[in-house]
A and B are shown apart, each in its own frame.
Chain A
Amino acid sequence: MLKEILLQVEKPARYIGNEINMVVKEAENVDIRFAFCFPDVYEVGMSHLGLQILYYFLNRREDVYCERVFAPWHDMEEKMRELHIPLFALETGDELKKFDFVGFTLQYEMSYTNIVNMLDLAGIPIWSEERGEDDPIIIAGGPCAYNPEPLADIIDIFYIGEGEVSYDELLDIYKENKKNGGTKEDFYEKALGVEGIYIPKYYDVEYKEDGTISRFAPNNEKAPAIIKKVIVKDMDNVFYPDKQLVPLIETVHDRVTLEVFRGCIRGCRFCQAGYVYRPVREKSTDRLLELADSLIENSGHEEISLISLSTGDYRGFKELAEQLIDKYSEDKIGISLPSLRIDAFSLDLMEKVQAVRKSGLTFAPEAGTQRLRDVINKGITEKEILDGCKLAFDGGWTRVKLYFMTGLPTETDEDLMGIVRLSDAIVNKFFEIPKEERKGRPISVTISSACFVPKPFTPFQWAAQSTVEEFGRKQRYVKHNITKKQVKYNYHEPELSSLEGVMARGDRRLAKVIVRAWELGAKFDSWSELFNYDAWLQAFEDTGVSREFYANRERSYDEILPWDHISIGVSKKFFIDEMERAKAGQVTPNCRRQCAHCGAASFGGGVCFE
Chain B
Amino acid sequence: MNNNIKYRIEFTKTDRMIFIGHLDLLKLFQRSIRKAKLPIGYSWGYNPHQLITFALPLPLGMAGSGEIADIQLTRRMDTDEIKAALNGSLPHGISVLCVMEIEAGALGCAAAVAWGDYCVTLDKKYDDFEETVNNVLEKKEIYIERTVKKKTKTVDIRPLIRSIHVDNSGDVTEFNCNIATGSQGNLKPDVLIEYIFSLMGEVPDLLKTDILRGTLYTEEEGVLLPLCPEEKFI
Spell out A's residues near B (CB within 8 Å): 3-4, 6-8, 12-13, 15-20, 22, 246, 248-250, 297-302, 331-332
Partner of A19, one of B34, B36, B48, B91: B91
Residue of A nearest to B29 (CB): A300
* Known interface pairs A13-B19, A248-B28; A20-B91 also in contact (CB < 8 Å): yes
Partner of B24, one of A13, A22, A299: A13
Nearest-neighbour CB distance to chain A for B183, whole angstroms, equals 26
B interface majority secondary structure? helix
Residue of B nearest to A3 (CB): B61
Asked whether any CB of chain A lies closer than 8 Å to the CB of B119, the reply is no
Whether the pair A299, B31 counts as a contact (CB closer than 8 A) is yes
Whether the pair B35, A18 counts as a contact (CB closer than 8 A) is no
* Known interface pairs A17-B16, A18-B91, A302-B30; A297-B35 also in contact (CB < 8 Å): yes
Whether the pair B91, A332 counts as a contact (CB closer than 8 A) is no
Residues in A with CB closer than 8 Å to B92 are 18
Asked whether any CB of chain A lies closer than 8 Å to the CB of B89, the reply is yes
* Known interface pairs A7-B61, A246-B31, A248-B28; A300-B19 also in contact (CB < 8 Å): no
A248 to B15 Cα, complex, angstroms = 14
Nearest-neighbour CB distance to chain A for B101, whole angstroms, equals 23
Whether the pair A249, B34 counts as a contact (CB closer than 8 A) is no
A332 to B74 Cα, complex, angstroms = 15
Residue of B nearest to A331 (CB): B34
A12 to B21 Cα, complex, angstroms = 9
Residues in B with CB closer than 8 Å to A246 are 31
Whether the pair A20, B32 counts as a contact (CB closer than 8 A) is yes
Residues in B with CB closer than 8 Å to A8 are 207
Residues in B with CB closer than 8 Å to A15 are 19
Nearest-neighbour CB distance to chain A for B110, whole angstroms, equals 23
Residues in B with CB closer than 8 Å to A302 are 30-31, 34
Residues in A with CB closer than 8 Å to B33 are 300
The 0/1 profile, CB within 8 Å of A marked 1, for residues 20-56 of chain B is 1100100110111111100000100000100000000
Nearest-neighbour CB distance to chain B for A296, whole angstroms, equals 8
Spell out B's residues near A (CB within 8 Å): 15-21, 24, 27-28, 30-36, 42, 48, 60-61, 89-93, 207-208
Whether the pair B35, A332 counts as a contact (CB closer than 8 A) is no
Whether the pair B19, A6 counts as a contact (CB closer than 8 A) is yes
Partner of B32, one of A12, A22, A300, A332: A300
A7 to B92 Cα, complex, angstroms = 20
A7 to B21 Cα, complex, angstroms = 11
A3 to B92 Cα, complex, angstroms = 17
Nearest-neighbour CB distance to chain B for A250, whole angstroms, equals 7
A115 to B20 Cα, complex, angstroms = 27
Most interface-central of A17, A249, A298 (chain B CB within 10 A): A249
Whether the pair A248, B35 counts as a contact (CB closer than 8 A) is no
Residues in B with CB closer than 8 Å to A18 are 15-17, 91-93
Residues in B with CB closer than 8 Å to A248 are 17, 20, 24, 28, 91
Residues in A with CB closer than 8 Å to B35 are 20, 297-300
Partner of B60, one of A7, A19, A250, A297: A7
Residue of A nearest to B205 (CB): A4
Partner of A300, one of B21, B31, B48, B207: B31
Whether the pair A4, B207 counts as a contact (CB closer than 8 A) is yes
A6 to B19 Cα, complex, angstroms = 8
Residue of B nearest to A17 (CB): B16
A331 to B50 Cα, complex, angstroms = 11
A297 to B35 Cα, complex, angstroms = 6
A581 to B48 Cα, complex, angstroms = 53
Residue of A nearest to B30 (CB): A302
Residues in A with CB closer than 8 Å to B89 are 20, 300
Residues in B with CB closer than 8 Å to A20 are 28, 31-32, 35, 89-91
Residues in A with CB closer than 8 Å to B31 are 20, 246, 299-302
A7 to B19 Cα, complex, angstroms = 8
Whether the pair A332, B42 counts as a contact (CB closer than 8 A) is yes
Nearest-neighbour CB distance to chain A for B112, whole angstroms, equals 28
Residues in A with CB closer than 8 Å to B19 are 6-7, 12-13, 15-16
Residues in A with CB closer than 8 Å to B28 are 20, 248
Nearest-neighbour CB distance to chain A for B58, whole angstroms, equals 14
Whether the pair A13, B20 counts as a contact (CB closer than 8 A) is yes
A3 to B121 Cα, complex, angstroms = 14
28 contacts between A and B (CB under 8 A): A3-B18, A3-B61, A3-B207, A4-B207, A4-B208, A6-B19, A7-B60, A8-B207, A12-B19, A15-B19, A16-B20, A18-B15, A18-B16, A19-B91, A20-B28, A20-B35, A20-B91, A22-B91, A248-B17, A248-B24, A249-B20, A249-B24, A250-B27, A300-B30, A300-B35, A300-B89, A302-B34, A332-B48
A3 to B211 Cα, complex, angstroms = 12
Nearest-neighbour CB distance to chain A for B20, whole angstroms, equals 5
Residue of B nearest to A12 (CB): B19
A300 to B31 Cα, complex, angstroms = 4
Residue of B nearest to A16 (CB): B16
Most interface-central of A12, A299, A331 (chain B CB within 10 A): A12
Residue of B nearest to A14 (CB): B19
Residues in A with CB closer than 8 Å to B91 are 18-20, 22, 248
Residues in A with CB closer than 8 Å to B17 are 16, 18, 248
Q: Assuming A4-B207, A20-B35, A250-B27, what are 9 further A-B pairs, CB within 8 angstroms?
A: A7-B60, A16-B16, A18-B15, A20-B28, A20-B91, A300-B35, A301-B31, A331-B34, A332-B48
